[in-house]
Structure formats: structure tokens, C-alpha cells
Amino acid sequence: MFSRVMKRIGIRGVYVPFKVDPGNIGQAMEAMRCLNIDGANIGNPFKESILPHLDVLSEGANIIKAVNTVVRTGSTLKGYNTNAIGFMDTLEKAGFDTAGRNALIFGAEGAAKAVVFILNWLRCERVQIAGRYKKNLDTLLATLEGEAVRLKDISTSPCTANILINASSASSPDEAPKFASIIERLEIKACELVVDLNYGHKNNFWKKLAQSRGIPFIDGLTPLAHAARRTLLLWTKIDVEAGEFIRALESDNREA
């Protein structure tokens, strides 16, 4: 995606993947300094373990305690979380104002942290997080404002949320049949938007839920493109419209 976009707009640069063993993230960050690498994307399982190896964190990354973008300035490495700001851009583009509204989030790990942070930042009135594991919920709510709800309770009684967000890894019945069954039977009131942070999943049960109730649906391609736009802006100081990244992602998928 980044290579396609940089080539299209004439940026002299290359985007390459590096395989790093979990215990070597510190050495990888030192290599950025030694090799004069301008920036990096950080994927799982490093978004949290990278924190001690960075010199500075953005305000959002410091609160979320997770980083997906690193920028090198001289020998200084600064970490950012563009997933959060990319999600904000997605809501703005959709014309959805979260101020004073209720949100229901499924999932309690890295992606959920970014969403909960930005919803609080945007003055969402009530943020509920549904997760399978109490430990993950407790960790998330130790640093971010929200309330935990049990999947069991959601599956047996109606819930009210103006926006529903899937921040879990599951979007297909093949991946999580029991979870899919819960979502397909979900009784949700006042919902105006469903967002799935995954994309490209077949038989997407979040999309099915939205369509069956006449609710607008956004899949993960759009938030990913907005996050990528913010990342490239941090690396190059060049602002490229999110549509360029969507087209690049679609081209990558066709060639995969």
C-alpha cells in the first residue's frame, strides 16, 4: 500500500517488511537509528512491548499505551498511534458526531484501546466494552474510561447504542461461530452506524447485522486508509487523501 502511494505521488522511498523476533524489538529500534530509517509501522505483537524502546510518545500513544507508528528525527524515536486518529477521521468523513452519544465496542485488546481513547476524546457520553476475557477488560479500563459489559448479558437482553464497533479479530462465522450467533441475534436500539475494523472477511456477520436493520456499515478498509494517511503525513510531512490508500489497498487485494 505505502509503496504504491509513494510511487504515485512521486516520493522517493521504499516500504519493506522486516521480520523481528519478539525478543529483539529493542535491537530493531536501534537499527532504525543506525541505518537512518525514517519511520516504521508497528504490528502485533509489538505495539505494547515497543514502548520502553522509544524516546518519546505522543499524547495519545502515552494514554493508549500502544504504538503503531514510529518516526525518527536524528537519533530520537517517537511513537504515535494513528489508528486512533484514523478512526476519528473515519467518523468525521461519515458525518457521525459522537458527542453525547452511546457506543458499544466488541473486543478489548489493541484496536479497542485506540477506539475507546478517541471516543472519550470526542466526548462520547457512554462507552461500553464487551469482551470475552475479564483480564483484557480490566487492563483496558485501568487506563481508559468506559464500562465493561458481559457478552452473556448482551445476548439475552436488548441494548442501546448509537454506534457499534467491532474491534475484535472476528467477522466471519467460520472464525467464531458462537460469537457470530450472538451478534446475528443482537437486539440493538437507536443504532445509526456499524463499524467493523476488519476488512475482506467473507460472510461478514457485522455487515449482515447492519443490513438486516437498515443501518449504515463501514468496514475496516476505510479506517485503515485514514490511519495510513496520518502515518505517511508523520513520516514525510506530505498529506495524501485517504482515497489514494483505499485504491492502493484494493489493488494489493486484487493481486494477492
C-alpha distances in Å from residue 105, one per residue of 23, 29, 146, 163: 31, 32, 10, 8
Catalytic residue among 47, 65, 78, 113: 47
Reduce the secondary structure of 106-152 to three states and give it as a string: ECCCHHHHHHHHHHHHCCECEEEEEECCHHHHHHHHCCCCCEEEEHH
Burial of 217 by CB count in 10 Å (0-12 exposed, 13-18 middle, 19+ buried)?
middle
| Residue 104 backbone phi and psi in degrees, to 5 | -125, 120
Distance (Å, rounded) from C-alpha 80 to C-alpha 64? Answer: 10
Rounded Cα distance, 220 and 224, in Å: 6
Q: Is 180 exposed, middle or buried (0-12, 13-18, 19+ CB in 10 A)?
A: buried
C-alpha–C-alpha distance, residues 226 and 245, integer Å: 8
Instruction: Give CA–CA dist 5/232, Å, rounded.
Output: 9
The amino acid occupying position 233 is L
Residues 6+ apart with CB under 8 A from 98: 91, 119, 122, 123, 124, 162, 163
Cβ neighbours of residue 182 closer than 8 Å, sequence gap 6 or more: 151, 154, 155
**Catalytic status, residue 47:** yes
Location of C-alpha cell 478512526 = 87
Catalytic amino acids? 47
